[in-house]
Amino acid sequence: MCSYNNSATNSSDVNSPEFEQNDMNSPDDHLMNTVCLRDSGFEQRLAALGCSEFVLPCDVVDNLEALDSHSANYVLSLENDQIQLAPRDKSMGNPVVVDFASGTIGFRGRQNVRQELLVKAVFGRDKKSPPSVLDMTGGLGRDSFILACAGCNVTTLERNPLVFLLLSDGLYRAETNFELQTIVQRIELHFCDAVVAPAIALDKVNFDVVYMDPMFPERTKSALVKKEMRVFRDVVGEDVDVYQLFEQAKNVARKKVIVKRPRKSAFIKDKKPTYSVEGRSSRFDVYQV
């Protein structure tokens, strides 16, 4: 099973076969734009992540010569001990890497996370006991990390194999960092599609809060201005099943569902939330269930 679980006290429910339903061999058009340099270093890292059997749905080469003659726009490889997804066109920005130790996310994690809008939305009035959270849309793990910094135990799902590998690798390296260890141990990552994961498998674990931040098809151009976001969208594509995800979230949440939206955009399914926590560019719609 290619599921990254840092916690020594994993729930047996979420490790059940019901969580292993992703077909790692299934083709995905978005990923065809990518070539993976699966050299010995990459293989070793896959083994360390427990992902040796991972069959990436993109072209794979095992040497630099083959890589040079490949026409894909993105390269997935192990560079400087990190798995990265790099656009070949340098004007598309820097390689995408998950690094919880530095950069914006490392900085935000060290700040007063209780001031983060997502944390306010998740905790609500109860400032003391951190709720358990199911993050259905793991992505690069920033939101899961912020919530773990605030003390929440977070079960994180990601269905895109490339994104899953980037995030698994970021968590793996964070595990070796003394300062981050205890934080990332609160995150349990699974390679899993939240829509088709049987509600019963999710339900058993009883999540106080279910959080979703999908790539809404109509996501505004301003979000696309960020280069990293453009790379992400090019490789991941849009999440066209956001309504089903919302229904699943409502089935699974014990207390509330939180949906992240661009600040000025419509409510999901035009459904008015119980309340919203608003920031400058984004909004967290809270649905009490």
CA distance 141 to 218: 22
**Strand boundaries in 142-205, DSSP class E:** 154-158, 187-191
Interface contacts to ligand SAM, rule CB under 6 A: 136-137, 139-143, 157-160, 163, 193-195, 213-215, 236, 239, 245
Distance (Å, rounded) from C-alpha 12 to C-alpha 21? 16
Of 61 and 273, which CB lies nearer to ligand SAM in the complex structure?
273
Minimum distance, C-beta of residue 90 to ligand SAM, in the bound complex (Å): 23
From the CB of 211, what's the least distance to ligand SAM, in Å?
8
135 close to 211: Cβ distance less than 8 angstroms: yes
Chain residue at closest Cβ approach to ligand SAM: 139
Q: Using alpha carbons, select from 271, 274, 278 the residue that is nearest to residue 286.
A: 274
Shortest Cβ 157–ligand SAM spacing (Å): 5
Judged by beta carbon, residue 61 or residue 188, the one nearer ligand SAM is 188
Nearer to ligand SAM, 78 or 212 (CB): 212
| Residue (194 or 259) nearer to ligand SAM, CB | 194
Residue 11 neighbours by CB under 8 Å, 6+ apart:
205
Question: Between residues 61 and 187, which has the closer beta carbon with respect to ligand SAM?
Answer: 187
Closest contact distance (angstroms) between CB of 260 and ligand SAM is 7
Q: CB within 8 A of 167, min separation 6: which ones?
A: 4, 98, 138, 139, 140, 141, 156, 158, 189
